[in-house]
Structure 1
Amino acid sequence: MVPPLAVDIDGTLTDGDGAVDPRVFAPLQEWEAPVVVATGKAFPYPVALAHFLRIERTVIAENGGISLVGDDLVVHGDRTGAQAVIDEYESRGYDLGWGELDLTNRWRETEVAVSRDRPLEPLEVIAAEQGLEVVDTGYAYHVKDPTMSKGRALRSVARRLDYDVTDFAAVGDSQNDAHMFEEVGVAYAVANADDHAREAADYVTEASYADGFLEAAEEIAAASE
């Protein structure tokens, strides 16, 4: 049997333009073990993806801030500290970069995301003053509690699925996936991955983005035969 699989969305199931590659649908739907969709995006995004793929609603959102297994929802943090950082950031004359209708953060419960075209250094300084951290996922700067991570959330998900977290294989591309890679039995970084993910992974695929995921999924399945 193939191992349970934890997989990132952006940069891993997507193409270079940020769209989910339809070629990943069949491998995810046909995977003969639990699939955990683990993302930095707000909670509704992975839930919707699982819904439209008709796979089980087993997800990690907001870089480990929220996890869902079926109807079992666990919130691993709250937004209070991150929001205080953002309030101070804005009081110093900066903005989040999403425009007046901020859909990036509208449904976010445990962290706040800032556009990567906004100044990073003052954001990191303010976050450090509050005991928080800023994680660069390659798509946004995420202000979050440092105890919150995809790895910690995956441990919780694994227990609820009656697996050990080391039973899992994982595929991802960025710093937030590195925490997850450190927990699982085998980890693949796709070729477009950042240095954090590459260093934490057991393997780096030759292909990038969704092609890299397909390569990793094939190798994980082959290794289980």
Structure 2
Amino acid sequence: MKVYAINGSPRKNKNTATLLQKALDGVKDSVKDSEIETEIINLYDLNYTGCKSCFACKRLESKNYGKCAIKDDLQEVLEKVSQADGLIFGSPIYFSNITGQLQAFLERLLFPYLVYDKNHSSIAPKKMPTAFIYTMNVPQEFMEQLNYNLILNTLAAPIERIFTKPKVMYSNNTYQFDDYSKYKADAFSEEEKAAHRAKQFPLDCEKAYKIGTSLIQ
């Protein structure tokens, strides 16, 4: 068994990556299978683009039917995750949406599996369970006022169509800098941010862990 966490953040050891690792820890602790493997794939380590609309993945009787034909760093990753037993996506929110790196990855992952038939059916090799972890600077009340939920629920729709409906968690009002005094960031109170993190982030880690424990049923 293999479960991958797809890190759409440029940071490998901050909020998003930490929560993804907690989720993978939950997977490993919940599955009675000594052979289970987990891995975080850091998208910012890879050189690739989004979909180029070549439609090779839709061409009948082609070796690329149902597969992305672009040859770059993502080719091997897409092949690997196609056989996964679970996928957990993670991204910080930039301008009310996921990072460009993760958006490009999802285009390349999902579009080849979407069939242009009347049902828009899926030819994904597996109906694997999925989850999405979002981290963001804004508090929960701002997220709701700005309709982030609506935007991110729209994002979840193609994942549900291709694989399964993702489990979702949000980590709000995150601590962004190691030292706020070094940045122009007086819109925020470092003291309040630090207090919130000390109380809330351990709870978010528990939520991420529980997503992992419930991923593989």
TM-score (norm 1): 0.35
Q: Report which of the two structures shows the higher radius of gyration computed on alpha carbons.
A: 2
TM-score (norm 2): 0.36
Give the number of the structure with larger relative contact order, counting CA–CA contacts within 8 Å between residues 6 or more apart.
2
